[in-house]
Structure 1
Amino acid sequence: PSPSLKTKISRQINKANIFNLKEGCRQTWFACLYKAMKQKLTPIRILISLFAMILIAIFYSIFPTESMEAAEFTELAAIKVGNQLQVTIPASELSALQPSALLVEILDAENKIVARQLLDANQEKAEGWKTNLSLPADLKQEDLFWYRLRYGFIEKGQTTANTPIIQPISKIFHFPTVRLLGQKELISGANNSLRVVVIDGQSGQPLKGSMSIALDKANSADVKTTAKVDQHGTASLTLKTPEGFTGDANLTVTVSTPLGTQELVEKVQVVQRENILLTTDKPIYQPGHLVHIRSLTLDRFSRQAVSSTPIIFEIEDAKGNKVFKKRATTDEFGIASTEFQLAEEVNMGTFKLRTILGDQNNPRTTTQEKSFVVDRYVLPKFKIDIKMGGENERQQYYSPGETVSGQVTAKYLFGKPISRGRVNIKMSTFDVETVEIGKAEDILSDVGEYQFAMKLPNSFAGRSFEQGAAPVAFQVEVTDTANHTETRSESLLVSSNPILITAVPESGEMVPRLNNRVYLLTAYPDGSPAKTTITTNVKPANLVTDKDGIAVIEVDGQLNSLALTAKDEKGKVGTTNIALKRREVTGDSLMVRTPQALYKVGEKLEITTI
C-alpha cells in the first residue's frame, strides 16, 4: 500500500482497539483491508471489515497459537528435522591452534560419506557449532542408527581432518519415543479414555509438545482429536467413537516435539456397547433332539438389562445351510429365548448359532455367535465312584511311602449295583513321561464295591511349581457281566512336606533401605489353606495365620532370606528356607502401598508413598 493508504488503514485499526494483537495477524488484516479499501470506501464496507477483524481478534484470544521451540543441547547431539540431520557440536569437544574450518561428515555402514559440511572455525558461539546435513531421501530412521558422525578441524588447503573424532549416531541421536496406554478394545458410541507418554528415546526425559490421534477403519470416516503434551510428557484424552463404528481399526498417534515428529500405529478393536451372553442347554445333541436357546443382553458400562429390543436368532448346519431363523424381543431382564427342533436326518457336525440384536438392516446391530455339536452318541451304562481315605474324610494328599486306601463303587444309572463285575486299578505318576507305579485286579462284591490299598514309592520326581509335590493318578476300569466297560480317573498329590509355605514381598521384590511387608501363606499340598503358627528367624519370632492361611511380617529390605517353620493344630509341620530377591536401586528407595489390591469403580483409593 501507498504511505497514505497505510495511514488510513492504521487509523481504522486504532479505532477498533485491536492494535495490540500479534504482528503476523496484523499483517494478514492489513492485506484484507488493503483489498477492501482499494475499492470505493463506503461506510458499510468499513463496518464489515471492522466487524471481521473483531471476530478474528476474539478467536485468537480464546485459541492462542503456540510455536514449537527448537531443541537446544549443550552436549554433542543430533536430531532429525525433515530430511536433514541437525548436529550440535559444543566447543569443548574440539581444540586446535589455528584452525581454518570445521569439517562435519556423516558416514554410512560401509564407511562411505553421505553428507559433508564445512563450518567456519572462528565463528563458533559459546555453545559451539550447529549445522544441518542433508540425508538420503529414502533413509529410514531405524537405518540411521547404523551411521556415524565424523568431525574435526582442518587447516587451509586440507580436505580431511588430521585427528577426526568419530561417534556412532546411535549414541548422540535424540528422537521422540511414543507409548500409548489404554485398552485394546474400544466401545462404539462411547467416550474411550487414552493416555500418551512421550519421552526422549536417548535420555529418557519427558518431552513437551502437541499430538493428534486418529481412529480409522476400512469404509468408514476417520475419528480424530487433538491434545497437548504437558511438561511431564503425558497427554490424557477422550476419543468419542460414533455409533455403528465397529470392527478392526488402526489407532494412529502423531506427536510433534522439539525433537521432531513421531507416529505410532496400534491395532484396536471397536465393539458394540451391548454385551450378549448366548447359551444352549447342552453342548452336544443327537438328531431329533430339541435345542433350547437363551440370550442375555446387558449394557457394558451400567450392566443394566437391554430391554424391549428386537433380536434375531439364526442357525446354520455343518455345511453352512441356514436352517432356522426367528425374531423375538428382549424382556425387562434383557432375556430372550427360543427352541429349535432337530430333524431325524441332518448334516451332523458343528452347527453355528447366531443372535443379532436390533434391526438387521441397521449398521448399529450387535451380534454374538456360539457353536454346538450334532452327532450320535451312546450314554454310559453305569457310573463309577472312587473314594480316597477313611470313612468320614476324603484325603487328597499323601507322603512318600504311605499306603493309599480307598473304595470303588459301581452302579447302573437306575441304581442297581454291578454285582461280581471285574475291576482293574492302575496307579501312575509323571516323570518325563507317564510311569506305572502299581496296579490291582479283583472282582466287585455283590453290592458293587471294592476296597483297595496300594503302597506309594519312597521317592518321587516333584514339580517345582508345586513346591516339590508330585501328582499320582488312579485309573479305574470296571467291566460288568454283559462285558460293557466304563472308566474313571482320580488324582492326588504326594509331598514330603505336609505344609507348604510361600513368602511374597509386597512390591514383588525387596526394596532396600526400607521396611518391607512380606506376606506369608501356608497351605496343604492340595492347595487348601492351613491355619498354622509360624516360627521365623526374625522378629516377631512367632506368627499365627488366619483362616485363609495368611500372615504378614515387616522386615528390613536388606534381608536376603527367611527361615520358616509352620505347625498346624494336628501337629503337621512344614519347614522351608525362602530366598528373597532384592531390587537393584541406585538412588533413593521408593515404595507405593495401598490398603487392598482390588477396588470397585467409585471407591476411594488411599495411597501411601514411603
Structure 2
Amino acid sequence: MYSFVRGMVRVFLLTAVVGAVVVCGTILIAGGEPKPTLVATNLLGQNEWQAGETAYVRITTTDVDTGKPAPGIPIKAMLYKGKAPEKGDGSPAFRASAKTDGQGSLSLPIQTKADMRGAYTLVVLSGSDKPDRIEQPVKIVSKSRIMLATDKPVYQPGQTIHIRALALRPTTMEPVADTKCTIEVEDSKGNKVFKQPCATSKFGVFSADFTLATEINQGTYTVRALLEDEKTEKAVTVERYVLPKFKVAVTTDKPFYLPKQTVKGKVQSDYFFGKPVSDAKVTLKFATFDVAFKDFAEVSGKTNDEGFFEFEQQLPDYFVGLPLEQGNSLVKIEASITDGAGHEEKSTTTVPVADQPIRILAVPEGGVLRPGLENVIYIMASYPDGRPAIWTGSARPTAKSGREDTKSMQIASDELGIAQVKYAPAAGGFALHVEVGKVLGRDIEKYRSIEMGGAGETVAKADFNLPVNGTPDETLILRTDKAIARSGAKVGLTIISTKKTGSAYIDLIASGRTMLTRTVDVRNGKASTDVTLPPDVAGTVEAHAYI
C-alpha cells in the first residue's frame, strides 16, 4: 500500500546530495586578460534517470585563483547511446547549449524519451576555444510501483484466488498503460503452480484468477506481479479452517498501565446471530514478553447471562523494555471461552506497560544539530499507547553540553503534544534535560486522557544526547514553510548558513530523480526562495541544500 495521497506532496529536509555524482575539470580562459583565468568545472546530477521524464544536471564554473563563481562560460551538453565518440559530435540523442549565469551555475534539463533504456554517456564541453571535456556514464531505466492485492488473506483448497495489481510511475503517479506483465503463484514448497502473461490496461491495472486444487500443499503461498524491471510479492495462506461459532472480545479499563498496577477488564462473548454465550467456561492467561512470552497468571470463571465476565489481575513489578515498542513493555491477555456444546473460541489482546505515564521524545529539525546556528528542537510527549499529550514543562541544557548557560526554559505544547525550543550548540555534542510538569486532560470519552501533575510536580522526565554534525565555519540549515503541499503549489525555502556570503545550491528530488535545481545568493548568512512544485509530482519530495 502507498502512504501518499494523489496530488499531495510531503517535503523532507536534508542538507546533502544523495545518490549524486560530481565530476570536475579545469579550463583556461584567456578573455583578453594578460594572465589566463583557470576555471574549475563541476558536473552534478544523478547517475540513473527515469525514461520519459526530465532529468536535471547542475554545471558550475569557479575561478580557481579567487574561488568565486565564473559567469558566462559557454556550456555544450550531449547525450549518447552507449559510449561517446572520441572525435566529433556524432549523432547524440540529446543536444543543448547554454552559458553559466551570474553565479557561475547552469541548471540543465535533459528530456529523455519513453523508449530510451540502458547505458548512455553524458558529455559536457566547457569553454569555447579549447573546451574542457567531461564524460559521465548514466543509466536510463523505466521504473514503476506496483500495488498487488488479493481478495482475502486466507484460502481453503478448491477456492479461487482473485489477484489484482495497479502499476504507476513513481514520480508522476501516472498509470503504466499498455505494457506487458506477468502474474505468478508459488506454493509453500517453492513450486510455481500458476503463471499468466498479461498486459496493463490504460489505467495501469492487470489481474488474474487462480483456482486452487482440492488436494494441494498447504501453507504460505507467494503471489508475484512482474512488470518491466519491477517485481512485487504478496503472501497468502492456504489451509483448511472452520468458521468460528461465536466472537470473543476483551477490553481493559485503561489504555496502558504501570508496573504493579491492577488490570481490570471485561470479556464479552456473543453468538453471531446475537444471543450471548451464557454460563460458558472462561480461562484468561496473562503473559509478559522477554525473549518470548511467559505466563505469569491465570484467571478462570464463567460468563453471566449476558455473556459477560469481569476480571482483575495485578501486574508484576518488573518488565523488560522492548526496542520495537520504544522502550515500553506489554502484557498479553489471552481469553479462551468454551460454550455448553464444547465449542472453544479464543481472543488475544496486548496492553502497553511503561515505566512513566508520559513518553518524551526530542528531535532536531534536520535530524542532527548544526553548530554555530540556532537550531529548532521539537519535543513531543505522548501516552504510552501513542496518543499525544497536551503538556507544560521545562527544558534546559545540562552540564554535558558544555554550555555555561544551563537555565531552564518554560515550554508548552500544542494540540498535537509538540513543543519547540531553540538552541545554538557548539561542535561536539549537546545534552538536553526535559521535564513534563503538567498534562492537561481532554474529552475523556474521545481521548481517554488523564490530567496529571501540577505546580511543583514532575510527571515525567528524560535526558537526551543529541548529535551535532558539521563545523562552525561552513554549515547550514534548510527550512520549508510547509511540510505538506499540493502538486503545483509554491513552497518557500530558507537557508541559514554560517557562511555569510556566497552561493547556495538547492535541489528537489522525488523518487531518486532531480526534478528542480536552483542557485541562490547567501547574504548575511541567509538566503530564501520560492519554488513551484511540478503539477505531475506526488509523494515524497526531498529538498537538498549545499554550499
AA aligned opposite 1:453: E
* Alignment pair present for 1:567 and 2:428: no
Q: Any idea what SS the aligned residue of 1:487 has?
A: strand
For 1:411, the equivalent position in structure 2 comes to 270
What corresponds to 1:377 in structure 2?
A: 240
**What corresponds to 1:499 in structure 2?**
358
1:29 alignment partner in structure 2: none
CA positional deviation for 1:396 = 2.0
Match of 2:385 among 522, 526, 531: 526
Q: Which amino acid aligns with 2:114?
A: E
Aligned residues of 1:477 and 1:486 also touching (Cα < 8 A): yes
When residues 435 and 294 of structure 1 are mapped into structure 2, their CA distance, relative to the original with a 3 A threshold, is closer
Moved more, 487-496 or 416-425: 416-425
Given the alignment of the two structures, is residue 471 of structure 1 paired with residue 339 of structure 2, yes or no? no
1:428 aligns with 2:298: no
One-letter amino acid of the structure 1 residue matched with residue 331 of structure 2: V
1:579 to 447, 454, 465: 465
Offset at residue 484 of structure 1 (A): 4.1
Q: Deviations over 1:284-331 (max 9, x none)?
A: 44455465565667676665679xx8799986665657788999976x
Deviations 1:412-443 (A, max 9, x none): 33334334443333322233443333332334
Report what 1:546 is aligned to: 414
Corresponding position of 2:494: 608
For residue 549 of structure 1, report the CA deviation from its aligned partner.
0.4
What is residue 594 of structure 1 aligned with on the other side?
Answer: 480
- In the TM superposition, residue 406 of structure 1 has moved relative to its aligned partner by 1.2
**Equivalent residues in 2 for 1:164-183, closer than 5 Å:** 180-181=45-46
Evaluate the alpha carbon distance shift between residue 412 and residue 314 of structure 1 in structure 2; reply closer, same or farther with a 3 A threshold: farther
Q: Give, in angstroms, the shift of residue 340 of structure 1.
A: 4.8
Identify unmatched segments of 5+ residues in structure 2.
1-24, 30-39, 84-90, 397-405, 441-450, 454-458, 497-547
What SS class does the counterpart of residue 546 from structure 1 fall into? coil
> Which one of the candidate residues 49, 55, 59 is aligned to 1:192?
55
Q: CA 1:484 to 1:269, structure 2 compared with 1: closer, same or farther past 3 Å?
A: farther
Contact 1:284 1:372 in 2 (8 A): no
Which of the residues 266, 270, 273 maps onto 2:142? 270
SS at match of 1:458: coil
Aligned-residue offset at 1:571: 1.7
Residue by residue over 1:223-272, the C-alpha shift from the partner in whole angstroms, topping out at 9 and shown as x without a partner, is 666789969997754444433446xx4465667899x9887656664136
Asked if the contact 2:160/2:212 (under 8 Å) is kept, the reply is no
Which residue number corresponds to residue 442 of structure 1?
A: 301
Q: Helix, strand or coil for the counterpart of 2:152?
A: coil
Give yes or no for the alignment of 1:487 onto 2:346.
yes
> Which is greater in Rg?
1
| Alignment size in residue pairs | 412
Do the aligned partners of 1:181 and 1:196 also contact (CA within 8 Å) in 2?
no
Instruction: Evaluate the alpha carbon distance shift between residue 324 and residue 68 of structure 1 in structure 2; reply closer, same or farther with a 3 A threshold.
Output: closer
**Separation of aligned partners in 1, 2:281 and 2:377:** 54
Is 1:243 paired with 2:114?
Answer: yes
C-alpha separation in 2, matches of 1:469 and 1:351: 34
Matched ranges for 1:44-193 at <5 A: 69=27, 180-181=45-46, 186=50, 188-193=51-56
Q: Distance between the aligned counterparts of 2:382 and 2:133, measured in 1?
A: 55
Partner amino acid, structure 1, of 2:252? M
**Residues 1:263 and 1:489: Cα distance change in structure 2 (over 3 Å):** farther
For 1:329 and 1:468, how far apart are their aligned partners in 2? 48
RMSD, aligned α-carbons: 5.1
CA contact (8 A) 1:279 1:294 kept: yes
Does structure 2 conserve the Cα–Cα contact (< 8 Å) formed by 1:522 and 1:566? no
Alpha-carbon contact 2:182-2:198 (below 8 Å) kept: yes
Structure 2 counterparts to residues 194-213 of structure 1, below 5 A = 194=57
With 422-431 and 367-376 compared, the bigger mean Cα shift is at: 367-376
Q: Distance in 2 between the 1:346 and 1:196 partners?
A: 64
Higher relative contact order (CA 8 A, sep 6+): 2
How far the C-alpha of 1:367 sits from its partner, in A, is 9.5
- Residue-by-residue CA offset, 1:110-158 (whole Å, 9 max, x unaligned): xxxxxxxxxxxxxxxxxxxxxxxxxxxxxxxxxxxxxxxxxxxxxxxxx
Is the contact made by 1:560 and 1:582 (CA closer than 8 Å) also made in structure 2? no
SS at match of 2:452: coil
Contact 1:509–1:583 under 8 Å retained in 2 = yes
TM-score by length of 1: 0.53
Equivalent residue runs for 1:329-348 within 5 Å:
334=203, 340=209, 342=211, 345=214
Q: How far does residue 404 in structure 1 lie from its aligned partner after superposition? A: 0.9
Check 1:370–1:553 CA distance in 2 against 1; reply closer, same or farther (3 A cut).
Answer: closer
Structure whose residues are more often strand by fraction:
2
Stretches of structure 1 lacking an aligned partner (at least 5 in a row): 1-66, 72-174, 357-364, 390-394
Distance 1:601 1:523, change over 3 A: same
Q: Report what 1:388 is aligned to.
A: 252
Whether the 8 Å contact between 1:384 and 1:488 is mirrored in structure 2 is yes
Change (3 A) 1:241 1:288: same
